[in-house]
Structure 1
Amino acid sequence: MNICYLVIEGMLMSDTGEKDMKLREFIDDEKMSKLFEKFILEFYRKEFPNLKVDPSKIKWLVNKEDPWISLLPEMRSDITIDDGKKVLIIDAKYYSRTLQFNSRFGNETVYSVNIYQVFTYVKNRDVKHDGSISGMLLYPKTEDGKALDLSYVLDGNQLSIRTLDLNCNFSEIKQQLFDIIERWQGK
């Protein structure tokens, strides 16, 4: 957690001066994605010890006798937060752009594959079909300036899409992450 704090404080903070460098210039997208995911996971583990915070394996809701079940890919969430009554599944994504451009329709959209992924996690985890399982796509706010705070109810489950602004001081980052939990818990 301390390493993540130092990284954010020391390298993601920047003015717009020419001598400033961002961590992104030194670390490739795959490593940044893992760092972003691990930071969020460890932050929630440390700050919310009363919640169960872990990555989790999600079982497919399929007929157990199906001979082709072994061909289904494993579903493993980045972050699953459980308060004993409700569950929030967070899929942390790190891209250079928050939205994708849909050339067919000429508009920007959230990455469809990401929505399908988190929706699949949520629906397969919601075995009681009571809406107690929520999902979230969490992106860092990128240089394109797209800040997202979207929320939908899809087939009875809450699905949110948010950005986390990492280009601010740590207390503000912390507050953004606290806000996610407060909204999920209905506070």
Structure 2
Amino acid sequence: MTKCGSIRPEAPSQDPRHSEIREIRLSRKAFDSVRVTSNNLFYRFLLSTCRLVFDSLLVDEATGKVRFRDFTRDEDKMAGLFQSFLFNFIARECAEWTVKSENIGWQAVSSTDPNLQLLPRMQTDISARRSGEYRIIDAKYYRRTLSSYFDIDKLHSGNLYQMGSYLMNAKTIGGIQADGMLIYPKVDRDLREKYEILGRNISVFTVDLNAPWQSIAQELRALMA
């Protein structure tokens, strides 16, 4: 990187397939212009990582020097990165599953809002399907896995309400209804909790991201077994 926001190769490529590649000025608009489809899903995690680094770039206007802020303290950005990681891991390492992010339509009617335009959009982090099974997976990232209510640890209520809305509105496919799964990075305790709420199965798990990569991969494969 020779200057803030631009990328320049160390040497011109001799490969004719690269003849159309041009230097660009990085910006949020440039990232927003990239469309990830089912044909290039493997780029999603890489793009998310690059954008995380770009958004964390700080430039001293007086000196022009560049430094990076500690994005690990930004829960929103880390949540996006964690979501992309889980999506791509399942897509690449759990071959029996097909994954996508999907919009779930509200099972609702309204005389005042017939097109349901005022209802919030429900878009899953990960919708995973395999023979006989359909899971809606939400990746959540917090500095503390559990919330605290009068010094008593509880699951984040908003996460459960959101998952409940997904499951109650998701259409069955071939008679198969969706199960829900909330996955958090492990912070202070392991979670392997399973509930049945209004006839729908919801699991809450943690993953130890500080473990060696082989252990992380093994843990995630076990969750998707």
TM over 0.5: yes
User: Quick check: which one's helix share is greater?
Assistant: 1
- Corresponding residue of 1:60: 106
Using the size of structure 2 for normalisation, the TM-score is: 0.64
Output the aligned Cα RMSD: 2.3
Higher relative contact order (CA 8 A, sep 6+): 1
- Corresponding residue of 1:94: 141
Once the two structures are aligned, what percentage of the paired residues are identical? Answer: 33
Q: Which amino acid aligns with 2:140?
A: K
- The Cα shift of 1:49 comes to 3.4
Query: CA, structure 1 residues 32+66, in 2 after alignment: closer, same or farther (shift >3 Å)?
Result: same
Of residues 82, 92, 98 in structure 2, which corresponds to 1:46? Answer: 92
CA distance in 2, matches of 1:86, 1:115: 20
CA offset digits 1:110-159 (Å, max 9, x no partner): 0001000011111111447x6631001110001xx121110011112110
Query: CA, structure 1 residues 107+47, in 2 after alignment: closer, same or farther (shift >3 Å)?
Result: same
Please identify the structure whose Cα radius of gyration is greater: 2
**Does residue 33 of the first structure (1) align with residue 79 of the second (2)?**
yes
> Unaligned 5+ residue runs, structure 1?
8-23, 183-187
Aligned pairs, number: 158
Of residues 119, 141, 156 in structure 2, which corresponds to 1:72? Answer: 119
> Unaligned 5+ residue runs, structure 2?
1-41, 50-68
Question: Which runs of 4 or more aligned residues in structure 1 lie more than 6 Å from their structure 2 counterparts after TM superposition?
Answer: 1-4
Q: How does 1:30-179 map to 2 (within 5 A)?
A: 30-63=76-109, 66-68=111-113, 69-103=116-150, 106-127=151-172, 132-142=177-187, 145-179=188-222
- Corresponding residue of 1:17: none
Using the size of structure 1 for normalisation, the TM-score is: 0.76
Q: Secondary structure at the match of 1:81?
A: strand
> Is residue 152–residue 158 contact of structure 1 (8 Å, CA) maintained in 2?
yes
